[in-house]
Amino acid sequence: MSDDHVYLTLAEGHDDDTRWAYGTGFEDPLHGVDTSVPDDLDAGELASVCVTLADDALVSAQRLAEWTTRAPELEEEVALANIGLDLLGQARLLYSRAGQADGTGRDEDAYAYFRDAGDFRNVRLAELPNGDFAFSIVRLLVFSSWRLAHFERLTAHRDPVLAAIAAKGVKELAYHRQYAAEWAVRLGDGTEESHRRMRKAQEQVAPYLGELFTAYDVRDEVVAVLRQVTEAAGLPMPVYRPLPGSGRTGDHTEHLAPLLAELQGVARAHPEATW
Amino acid sequence: MDTTHSSPPGADGAGPDLQQHFDATIARDQRIEPRDWMPEGYRKTLIRQIAQHAHSEIIGMQPEGEWITRAPSLRRKAILFAKVQDEAGHGLYLYSAAETLGADRADLTERLIEGRQKYSSIFNYPTLSFADVGVIGWFVDGAAICNQVPLCRSSYGPYARAMVRICKEESFHQRQGYELLMTMMRGTPEQREMVQDAVNRWWWPSLMMFGPPDDASPNSAQSMAWKIKRHSNDELRRRFVDMTVSQAEKLGVTLPDPELRWNEERGHHDFGTPDWDELMRVIKGDGPCNDQRMERRRTAHEEGAWVREAATAHAAKQAARAEKGAVA
Amino acid sequence: MTADKQDWPLYEVFVRGKRGLNHVHVGSLHAADDRMALTHARDLYTRRNEGVSIWVVRSEHIAASTRDEKDPFFEPSADKVYRHPTFYDIPEDVPHI
């Protein structure tokens, strides 16, 4: 092996079983899936389901990206980025499907960059600022438990594309939930300080739980998961008092607009540009 | 005692046999492995170089990391997110290699945040537009590849193996950068200006990444004799310039050096002299972003302390519970 | 710094890249417990490659034959874990990329 030409050595070993990181769009998870919308489906409703789930994922991924260079340990940098990349990948697929379903043919970036806060349908839980690691873990636990249960049902959706996206997402979300549950147990059980922080995080998250349980009957399943984890962590189940309004109908906290301003700023400053 | 990760052997005075064996291994171009005897100077030099390299990966996440949340398309966001994540991974591979020499990661991190160990000067420059993401990929990762591909043959096994892994990923980094720039150069006039502006700002700091000129680089000769390093700073810098010139032409940007021209006789490009005083100032801590970079790393580490402690405490409690269960 | 100086212990990571192959040592990492070590190993050394098998073991639990052993203790794992540079569409005539 010679390094006389510094790039030659890099050409070795790139055979066809090399594999991309998840979520970066380097492979087509919908390969071989018929993308035409089935005739017996309400296309408008399908689009709205896709946009809603994509908004949840995009806003969550944005918050996870904010952890970059701020995580409590380097190994957690890698883990949080993996989860963020998965969710970003889900958002991209779902936006693309929405564009096919609603007949506008809009691409993923049209949805992500050129809609205002009032048009976003994500749950408010996703847009809350990161807070400390305990808050991010409790939020991730709740969010991934709900999303996993929801996606498991979507794998049987009559739209084959949405079903395929859900099937891919289920594997990812199972890992997210496991990661969050393990950390919840460590922090709940760990030290007095970590326990106190977890209690506080639970209280902060509790008001936003109700918003998740609107479609499909996954509430009991999710609550059972949360109960199991909180018991193992030595934490109480939070009492939940739902807030009025819902992100699903466009009600948001004051935190969404600044999040979107950062996300959309460069794209909107150069509307004619290609990236 | 830890058996995988060697503890430092007592002293250099381990006897002529060991020294001879070490010298012969280096001379045969074979690898030194963690539990082999090695001169103390070799171990120290390696720990310093690998740690500095690891720190550079971790601090290097910051200038680009700023743009993940602002990337102007979801595809670019995913690529950049994955790239910055890779850098955390590279840092971990390298700390792991340093630990095979008996170094301790917590200790190396302390040294970094107390300013006792350095990282690459390039990461003390600010990223001012999204074009910087592309130019960092093209120049900085390109320069890193020039520096690092020879290190895949470094005499210390764990370092060489970590570099093989890293170089493959860096190649993806450089290509994504160049591809972004090509796309931008095909875009609006404003985008082309952004690219040229980023090129102007990053060119000279990138040349400085190879370190001071050979006649001012006191440690290089020993490192080359030990085959920790395989090429001199100036040699690598020249190689980088030769490669980059034609890439710049294809891209349609101008490298900001009036002295840059092909020298038929030497078979290389002539180029201007970087501002070595600036390099020294940045290394000593007076670059545009030194304080900001260190502050971020320090804050993350300190704010993460309660999390790390909680995990340790939980593991201890679990172990105690398991023991109690076994007794009962 | 306080009690935090008490670092998470070091683990060695072994990965079976695909069926039919041995587990190969790929490096090390720090983790507070075995579960965390497995999670980190999956994230770091396989970048979420489903279906591979991972072993982790506390470094201090490994016994080794001799100190002059020639085992490759930091062998790079199968190439499939890397991101693939040829994804990026660069014209053939751009040199050295």
pLDDT, tens digit, for every residue of B49-106? 999 999 999 999 999 999 999 999 999 999 999 999 999 999 999 999 999 998 999 9
Residue C48 confidence (pLDDT): 58
**Residue A19 banded pLDDT, cuts 50, 70, 90:** very low
Structure tokens at A132: 């400390």
Chain B residues lying within 8 Å of A72, measured CB to CB: 300, 303-305, 307-308
Q: How many domains are contained in chain A? A: 1
Most confident among A132-136, B46-50, B226-230, C86-90 (mean pLDDT): A132-136
Selecting from C43, C47, C79 the residue whose C-beta is nearest the C-beta of A15 gives C79
Selecting from C33, C48, C96 the residue whose C-beta is nearest the C-beta of A22 gives C48
Written as one letter, the residue type at B305 is: A
Q: How far does chain B reach from its first CA to its final CA, in angstroms?
A: 31
Residue length, chain C? 97
Written as one letter, the residue type at A224 is: A
Mean pLDDT of chain A: 88
User: Percent of chain A scored above 90 by pLDDT?
Assistant: 76
Beta-carbon separation of A85 and B62 below 8 A: no
Beta-carbon separation of C95 and B311 below 8 A: no
As a whole number of angstroms, the distance between CA A6 and CA C77 comes to 22
Residue B34 CA: distances (Å) to CA of A58, B30, B150, C14: 45, 13, 20, 17
As a whole number of angstroms, the distance between CA B116 and CA B48 comes to 11
Residue A265 confidence (pLDDT): 98
- Identify whether A1 is part of a domain: no
Chain A residues lying within 8 Å of C49, measured CB to CB: 19
Helix ranges (H only) for chain A are 43-65, 74-101, 108-113, 124-127, 133-154, 160-189, 192-205, 219-232, 256-269
As a whole number of angstroms, the distance between CA A275 and CA A267 comes to 9
DSSP letter for A49, please: H
* Higher-pLDDT residue of A17, A162: A162
Structure tokens at A264: 């959309």
pLDDT, tens digit, for every residue of A37-46? 888 889 999 9
Q: What is the CATH number of the domain that holds A204?
A: 1.20.1260.10
**pLDDT reading at A21 higher than 90:** no
- Identify whether A120 is part of a domain: yes
Beta-carbon separation of A273 and B191 below 8 A: yes
Residue C97 confidence (pLDDT): 59
Mean pLDDT across A197-215: 91
Residue A215 confidence (pLDDT): 60
As a whole number of angstroms, the distance between CA A108 and CA A99 comes to 8
Beta bridge partners of C16: C53
User: Mutation test of the interface with chain B: which of C61, C77, C80, C83, choosing the one with the most B Cβ atoms within 10 A?
Assistant: C83
Nearest to B305 by CA among A73, C33, A135: A73
Domain of residue A152: give its range.
Answer: 6-269
**pLDDT reading at A7 higher than 70:** no
As a whole number of angstroms, the distance between CA A119 and CA A51 comes to 10
**Residue A73 banded pLDDT, cuts 50, 70, 90:** very high
For residue B261, the SS3 value is: strand
pTM: 0.89
What was the ipTM of the complex prediction? 0.92
User: Mutation test of the interface with chain B: which of A12, A63, A69, A80, choosing the one with the most B Cβ atoms within 10 A?
Assistant: A69
Selecting from B89, B303, B314 the residue whose C-beta is nearest the C-beta of A78 gives B89
**Residue C90 banded pLDDT, cuts 50, 70, 90:** low
DSSP assignment string, C44-75: HHSSS-TT-EEEEEEGGG---S-TT----TT-
pLDDT, tens digit, for every residue of A155-203? 999 999 999 999 999 999 999 999 999 999 999 999 999 999 999 999 9
Most confident among A137-146, B167-176, C29-38, C44-53 (mean pLDDT): A137-146
**Residue A20 banded pLDDT, cuts 50, 70, 90:** very low
User: Residue C92 class from Cβ within 10 Å (0-12 exposed, 13-18 middle, 19+ buried)?
Assistant: exposed
Nearest to A201 by CA among A251, A147, A123, A142: A142
Average pLDDT by consecutive 10-residue portion of chain B (328 residues)?
44 71 92 89 93 96 97 96 95 93 92 92 96 97 90 92 88 91 97 98 96 83 83 92 95 97 95 95 92 96 96 95 82
As a whole number of angstroms, the distance between CA B304 and CA B299 comes to 8
Going along chain C from its start, the domains and CATH numbers come out as 10-64 (3.10.20.520)
- Identify whether A51 is part of a domain: yes
Residue A223 confidence (pLDDT): 92
- Identify whether A221 is part of a domain: yes
Query: Which residues 64-93 on chain C approach chain B with CB closer than 8 angstroms?
Result: 64, 66-76, 79, 82-85, 87-91, 93
